[in-house]
Structure 1
Amino acid sequence: MSEVLAVVNIQAVAAKKRLQSNFLKKGITLALSSGLAYGLYTAFLTMGMTKGVWADWYGANTKGLSTFVVVYLIAALGNAINDVCSAVWALSYAGIKGKLKDFFRCINTPPGRMMIVAALIGGPIAGTAYVIAIQMAGSIAVPISALCPAIAAILGKVLYKQKLSKRMALGILICVSASFLIGSAGFSVGASKTTSIGIGIACIAALGWGFEACVAGYGTSMIDPQIGICIRQVTSGIANLFILVPIFGFMAGGVNISFDLAIQAFTSGPAMIWFLLSGLLSFITFMSWYAANSMCGAGLGSACNGTYSFFGPLFCLLLLGVYGGMDGWALPSVAWVGAIVMMFGILTISMNPLDLLRRKKEEI
């Protein structure tokens, strides 16, 4: 009898290990797909801001718009439209899943309010900075913004007294070194002042998303990730369109200019097609990332999501450079090397890379 029980226990343990392994693999697959989707979102959003009325705003005929409007207000408007489209996709998905009541019920709860704070940091601040950086510096801004996991690790140590091990410190050093490598690529080809400012603004995006990761980590641990995504995207869309864009309009000379530009943008059919796609992919990347974090851990999930530092420039090159025939989207070889090094640094922050090899041996 004891021998039978021993065999059953061994089989149960083996089945549990297989289940955990499959669960981990599915989480990693979702996290990698979130990085892929974020790269596509970047390319589609940027393509949308070259079509329809946007082509006039950014072209030779700027319709009398000031430099401030072209550089900052229009970029904020692009981010706002993307987040509004993403919020529509998120709410539609929640409605299909029968979770709209949960969405309204969770908004005014402690974790819901934490998600609202995270959305305000990651949407109007980091998201707009990301779009501005891409418009000013091109796809070289993408891997710079991917410093956010390194910044999140540092902020976790400062704000929440989380442990910062030697391995994590090494990963941060690798990421910072990679960012300098990527930045040097921009300067080596005779970067303009605009490119330099764009790289600096990309650092603001990384800082904002790093802070968001710290704040959102609490909220998503207590509510359904799909509800958390809805709260984030809806909050970001509303704050961008009805707070940040009017503020930029006021700074440009009057709130009316922001409303006029918003109406033109929303009624520009050729551009809105791309914004609907970028909004969908923005929703998909967050949904996949949140789900992955619950399956393989926030550390490994963030590391795999950070692969957008490579996929972003790649899809911008393919969609804008090759398909769109636009110049300026090809990166020097050293920038591609820096993006890959950045991915390794993010992985090192999140976990010991050797653990992946150990898991494979255990499965065998």
Structure 2
Amino acid sequence: MFEGLLAGLLWGLDTVILGIALARAPFLSTEQAIFLSPFVSTFIHDFCSSVWMLIFMGMKKEYANVVRALKSKSGKFIVLAALIGGPLGMTGYVLSIKYIGAAYTAIISSMFPAVGALFSYIFLKEKMKLYQLAGLFVSIGGVIALGYTPGGGDVDNVVLGFFFAFLCVVGWATEAVIIAYGLKDPNISDEQALQIRQLTSSIFYGMIILPILGGWGLSIEVFTGNTLFIILLAALFGTASYVFYYKAISKIGASKAMALNITYCAWAIVFGFFILQETVSVKDIIFAVIIVGGSILAASDIKELISGSRKELKEEKKQVL
């Protein structure tokens, strides 16, 4: 549970640092650059993340194991998860922002843990108790309230916007469930799965999506400029976030890990305040606490906590006696 919460915290930090990179000249120079910035930044972010993982796996001398994992049946499921969650889910997210605006997209996309919990129940037989489901929906409600702005921003095409937002939700939820299935294989570690995931995503973006959109020019400009170092830093925290996210999926299941992961919305407020000196309102603080509290409740097993506390008390009594 702590690892899942840490995944959300680190993703919040990643989000804030990546936001700094997106506010720099290469991504704002022309209208085309503004349109391409989400796709290019995602490609470079995942590419940098795969490089960090290559360094990490090299230090652990795991390259041969990664290749072996990739050739296995579970490894192929992880490749599928990467394609569904990365290019499909993220592309849906970006295009949804284009058609219905960031506010509505943020609200709709925050529903992915609920859909993920449903998929986990159907395909993985993961069950959540009523109080855990209540915690999940309280957390999602907090995200919706935090992201809501009167007017909701620009809306160009409601039908297309909602379709792509739905695509994003299904993509992100499905990714977590497939990853959970792949990690059931004792011969594949969460680090190996993440290496496969990030390489698959960056290769697909670089070879398919960017050529179609004509995004390689902007990508080269970013690669050869100072903004790359900021994205490298963001990707370092993003990679650490993914490592803990995959560990949480492996240990407590996809539905609970997803519930903890959406706390990044709350942590982004904290890091935005300390790093960017952004103004934080009372509303922001209240809903941030609600998001984190609801997510912890969704991932907690009260009986386990109570029985664990009783065991600790018994041990303390024995020591005193």
Counterpart of 2:305 in structure 1 is 356
Matches for 1:97-246 after TM superposition, within 5 Å: 97-129=60-92, 137=102, 145-160=109-124, 162-163=126-127, 165-184=129-148, 186-187=149-150, 190-193=151-154, 204-222=167-185, 223-246=188-211
Rate the CA distance shift 1:195–1:147 in 2: closer, same or farther, 3 A: farther
The count of residues paired between Structure 1 and Structure 2 equals 306
In structure 1, which of residues 297, 308, 311 is the aligned counterpart of residue 264 of structure 2? 308
Distance 2:105 2:167 in 1: 11
Contact 2:93 2:109 in 1 (8 A): yes
Find out whether 1:33 has 2:16 as its counterpart.
Answer: no
Counterpart of 2:52 in structure 1 is 89
Which letter does structure 2 place at the counterpart of 1:93? F
In structure 1, which of residues 338, 349, 361 is the aligned counterpart of residue 287 of structure 2? 338
Q: TM-score, normalized by length of structure 2?
A: 0.80
Q: Secondary structure at the match of 2:64?
A: helix
- What is the deviation of 1:360? 2.8
Rate the CA distance shift 1:284–1:48 in 2: closer, same or farther, 3 A: same
Which letter does structure 1 place at the counterpart of 2:216? F
Contact 1:32 1:307 in 2 (8 A): yes
Which letter does structure 2 place at the counterpart of 1:245? L
Which letter does structure 1 place at the counterpart of 2:142? A
Contact 2:260 2:299 in 1 (8 A): no
Query: RMSD in angstroms over aligned alpha carbons?
Result: 3.3
| Identity across the alignment (%) | 26
Contact 1:137 1:196 in 2 (8 A): no
Contact 2:176 2:258 in 1 (8 A): no
Rate the CA distance shift 1:203–1:43 in 2: closer, same or farther, 3 A: farther
Rate the CA distance shift 1:173–1:295 in 2: closer, same or farther, 3 A: closer
Bigger mean CA deviation after superposition, 74-83 or 141-150: 141-150
Unaligned runs of at least 5 residues, structure 2: 314-321
CA-to-aligned-CA distance 1:268-289 (integer Å, 9 cap, x gap): 22x1011101111111111122
Contact 2:116 2:254 in 1 (8 A): no
Rate the CA distance shift 1:149–1:206 in 2: closer, same or farther, 3 A: same
Contact 2:110 2:140 in 1 (8 A): no
- What is the deviation of 1:133? 7.4
Counterpart of 1:272 in structure 2 is 228
- What is the deviation of 1:309? 2.5
Distance 1:306 1:165 in 2: 19
Which letter does structure 2 place at the counterpart of 1:238? I
Bigger mean CA deviation after superposition, 288-297 or 231-240: 288-297
CA radius of gyration, larger in: 1
- What is the deviation of 1:231? 0.3
In structure 2, which of residues 4, 15, 35 is the aligned counterpart of residue 42 of structure 1? 15
Q: Secondary structure at the match of 1:193?
A: coil
CA-to-aligned-CA distance 1:239-271 (integer Å, 9 cap, x gap): 122212223x1xxxxxxx3222222222122x1
Distance 2:300 2:139 in 1: 14
Which letter does structure 1 place at the counterpart of 2:67? F
In structure 2, which of residues 21, 30, 34 is the aligned counterpart of residue 70 of structure 1? 34
Contact 1:79 1:128 in 2 (8 A): no
- What is the deviation of 1:39? 0.8
Find out whether 1:282 has 2:238 as its counterpart.
Answer: yes
Which letter does structure 2 place at the counterpart of 1:207? V
Unaligned runs of at least 5 residues, structure 1: 1-27, 57-61, 250-256, 323-328
- What is the deviation of 1:209? 1.7
Rate the CA distance shift 1:99–1:286 in 2: closer, same or farther, 3 A: same
Q: TM-score, normalized by length of structure 1?
A: 0.72
Q: Secondary structure at the match of 2:23?
A: coil
- What is the deviation of 1:194? 5.9
Distance 1:332 1:141 in 2: 22
Contact 2:28 2:34 in 1 (8 A): no
Contact 1:172 1:349 in 2 (8 A): yes
CA-to-aligned-CA distance 1:140-197 (integer Å, 9 cap, x gap): 976864543222111223445654653454344434533442343x12xx54216998
Contact 1:42 1:312 in 2 (8 A): yes
Counterpart of 1:5 in structure 2 is none
Rate the CA distance shift 1:142–1:356 in 2: closer, same or farther, 3 A: farther
- What is the deviation of 1:351? 3.6
Which letter does structure 1 place at the counterpart of 2:48? C
Q: Secondary structure at the match of 1:42?
A: helix
Contact 1:31 1:288 in 2 (8 A): yes
